[in-house]
A and B are shown apart, each in its own frame.
Chain A
Amino acid sequence: MNSKKFHLWDLPTRLFHWLLVLCVLAAVVSGQLGGNLIDWHGRVGLVIVGLLAFRLVWGVVGSSYARFRQFLPTPTRVRAYLRGDWQGEGHNPLGALAVFGLLGLLTAQVVSGLFSNDDIAFVGPLFELVSKNLSNRLTGIHHLLSNLLIGLVVLHIVAIAFYGHVKKQKLVKPMITGWQEGEGESATGGGVLPLIVALAVAAGAVYGASGAWLPEPPPPPPAAETPSW
């Protein structure tokens, strides 16, 4: 009973990760199928806004291995890792590149989606704030980014399979259980107060993105009735 293990990923980080997996999957499917699912695409997008906002705050105030500073992929670290000299736990420098890439792309993706339109019957919740022309441009970017994102997600999964089969490093299990086998210091920090702060910021971000604060459209002119023609 002396197997060594330590706490790597805190529960909020794991929940974030798997909820994001579900939401991105739902967003891709609903976006591709269209029809009435486009309304769900918009709702899922708002959930992703919340998840991303949470993760960005948690990357500063979360527990040690979840912090961005802990796994910043500096050129020195990436070079060391490629030489095989890197020592550490959590995201390795190459994995960190993927993490920042995915977070960055997803952020650009949700932001462009908020202002988008499909030239059918759907507009993003903040569409009113931009011109139709700009909305069209952002919609084009949204489509382009979706392909890049799918590519990066595939790379992410292939890399995990590679580490599992070739390098014999199980990356998925710690992301589920939180525990990593081997010697290492358990994660510290990221208590209740930071969690409340991160959740509050996430809620604020969703509210902002939802456009619920936008002024009501002006009431229709007081015509007594719609003309019969």
Chain B
Amino acid sequence: MKSKLLLALLTVTLAGTAIAQVKTEDAIKYRQSGYGFMAWNMARIKANVEGQYNKEEVIKAANAIQAIANSGMGALYPQGSDKGTGWEATRVKPEFFTNKEGVTKVAMAFNKEANEMAKVAATGDAAAVGAQLGKLGGTCKGCHDDFKAKK
């Protein structure tokens, strides 16, 4: 009885943390795809702020960024994946894997502003969206500055 309970507990625990094992090359592809897709959505929001504002377009773009931000992309950075090639050679710096605290900080800042972006987009206030886009972009830069290698 006791061992059954233990087994059940173990199963639940394992299931709760199950992460699909991904090859490094695929992990790099997935994360590059995520950033590339977010770049499209950032550009969409910017185009709407600078030109004809379409509330629905901005909501779609902001929700897409929010979804990726909250998707747990951190799982796509297995140890050793500072080297390797996805769609192109990865540009993540080795420091990304040694400075956990710094990475967490920039990642959380980004998640916070991405969530805020979705909220602001829902209001349809173009000026507020523009301001929030700047804040969100600033958090992208926060990580690029410290953890993305320059070419």
Using CB atoms and an 8 Å cutoff, list the residues of chain A in contact with chain B. Answer: 33-38, 118-122, 136-137, 139-140, 143-144, 226
Contacts and interface: CB of A to CB of B under 8 A. Distances in A.
A139 B144 contact: no
Contacts of B43: 121
Contact of A121 (B42, B131, B144, B151): B42
Interface in B107-151: 130-131, 133-135, 137-138, 140-141, 144, 148, 150-151
B35 interface: yes
A34 B141 contact: yes
Nearest to B141: A34
A143 B144 contact: no
B75 interface: no
Contact of A35 (B42, B138, B144, B151): B138
Q: 8 closest Cβ contacts across the A-B interface?
A: A36-B134, A35-B138, A140-B150, A35-B134, A34-B141, A140-B151, A121-B42, A136-B151
A121 B130 contact: no
Max chain A C-beta neighbours (<10 A), residue from B35, B42, B57, B141? B141
Interface size class of B (residues with CB under 8 A): 20 to 34
B39 interface: yes
A47 B43 CA distance: 25
A122 B137 CA distance: 9
Contact of A119 (B46, B130, B144): B144
B39 A120 contact: yes
16 contacts: A34-B138, A35-B135, A35-B141, A36-B130, A36-B137, A119-B35, A119-B39, A119-B144, A120-B39, A120-B140, A120-B141, A121-B45, A121-B133, A121-B137, A136-B151, A140-B150
Contacts of A118: 141, 144
Nearest to A31: B141
Contacts of B141: 34-35, 118, 120
Interface string B37-55: 0010011011000000000
Contacts of B130: 36
Contact of B137 (A120, A136, A143, A226): A120
B147 to A, nearest CB: 12
A226 B46 CA distance: 18
B137 A38 contact: yes
A120 B135 contact: no
Contact of A137 (B134, B137, B148, B151): B151
Contacts of B150: 139-140, 143-144
Contact of B39 (A35, A121, A226): A121
Contacts of B45: 121
A17 to B, nearest CB: 31
Given A139-B151, A143-B150, A34 B137 contact: yes
Given A118-B144, A139-B151, A144-B150, 11 more contacts: A33-B138, A34-B138, A35-B138, A36-B131, A37-B134, A119-B35, A119-B148, A120-B144, A121-B39, A121-B45, A137-B151
A89 to B, nearest CB: 42
Contacts of A122: 137
Contacts of A121: 39, 42-43, 45-46, 133, 137
Nearest to B46: A121
